[in-house]
Amino acid sequence: HSAYTHYNITKLEFLPAFKAAFYNLITKDNICASFRGTGLVPFNPEAVLSKLDVKLRTPSPPATDITQWESKTPSNAAELGAQSILIRNRIQRHQDSSPTSILMSLDQLARGAEVMIHSGVLLCDQVARLQQANEAVTKRRARKRKQIQKQGTLTKAEGSEIIAQKDIDVQLEGEIRQGRACVGRSTQQQRRCGRCSEVGHNARICHKDVETIKD
């Protein structure tokens, strides 16, 4: 059960334990024995060579430059081509039936998959460009916010005062318009007749001449 036991140790507990283990292991006797075992001090290469277990065997053939492709799901255009060649060779070694139609289907599949892979590469490039454009827009917006902050920030009370002042200005403009309209109407009502200088009528409907003729 000890193989499955987990022990937790903190840094403060580990450092003193490591220091004690280090000084118990790295001793003068162990260091000298290590140099002596490697034939360095004293210099004695035969002490090492005599301990080698040499077995003669036939050398393995040199590795070929062309790596043998193993069947797996291709992840790029080159692996897709290697996969199609491997399948084609396996089909050609099959002697029981003609592989012509199978090879044609395989070629079509390879061409279609190659187109999809290249399309995926182009799509990734477009996404990367869109991300860069989005980052540029975000940075511009951040710069605008910083400029506004440098010019001065508004408190809630200051913002309320600005809104209230705008409402007051709108109300004053409306009252001024109404006052001008009332003044215009009162001026029209106080106009006097050009013949008799009386209010309430004009010269066109003045009866002063009619009364003079009757007299």
Tell me, yes or no, whether 102 and 138 share the same domain. Answer: yes
Contact 196, 206 (CB under 8 A): yes
Domain assignment of residue 94, given as a range: 77-149
Is 137 part of any domain?
yes
| Predicted confidence (pLDDT) per residue in 121-157, tens digit | 888 888 888 888 888 877 777 776 665 555 556 566 6
> What is the count of structural domains for the chain?
2
Is 23 part of any domain?
yes
**Using CA atoms, how far apart are residues 49 and 36, in angstroms rounded to an integer?**
13
Tell me, yes or no, whether 86 and 143 share the same domain. Answer: yes
Q: Which residues pair with 199 in a beta bridge?
A: 192
Cut 0.85: pTM above it:
no
| Predicted confidence (pLDDT) per residue in 5-31, tens digit | 666 788 888 999 999 999 999 999 999
Q: Coil, helix or strand for 38?
A: coil
**Using CA atoms, how far apart are residues 80 and 16, in angstroms rounded to an integer?**
57
DSSP string, 71-113: -----SHHHHHHHHHHHHHHHHT--SS--HHHHHHHHHHHHHH
pLDDT band, very low/low/confident/very high, at 206 (cuts 50, 70, 90) = confident
Of 155, 75, 87, 146, the residue nearest 116 (C-alpha): 75
Is 55 part of any domain?
no
Which one of 101, 120, 149 terminates a domain? 149
Is 68 part of any domain?
no
Is 99 part of any domain?
yes
| Predicted confidence (pLDDT) per residue in 29-64, tens digit | 999 998 988 888 889 888 888 888 878 777 776 655
Is 89 part of any domain?
yes
Tell me, yes or no, whether 41 and 100 share the same domain. Answer: no
Tell me, yes or no, whether 45 and 89 share the same domain. Answer: no
Tell me, yes or no, whether 43 and 82 share the same domain. Answer: no
- Among 35-49, 102-116, 182-196, name the one with the lowest average pLDDT: 182-196
Tell me, yes or no, whether 144 and 83 share the same domain. Answer: yes
Tell me, yes or no, whether 83 and 45 share the same domain. Answer: no
Is 165 part of any domain?
no
Q: Tokens 């009619």 appear where?
A: 210
Is 163 part of any domain?
no
**Using CA atoms, how far apart are residues 124 and 132, in angstroms rounded to an integer?**
12
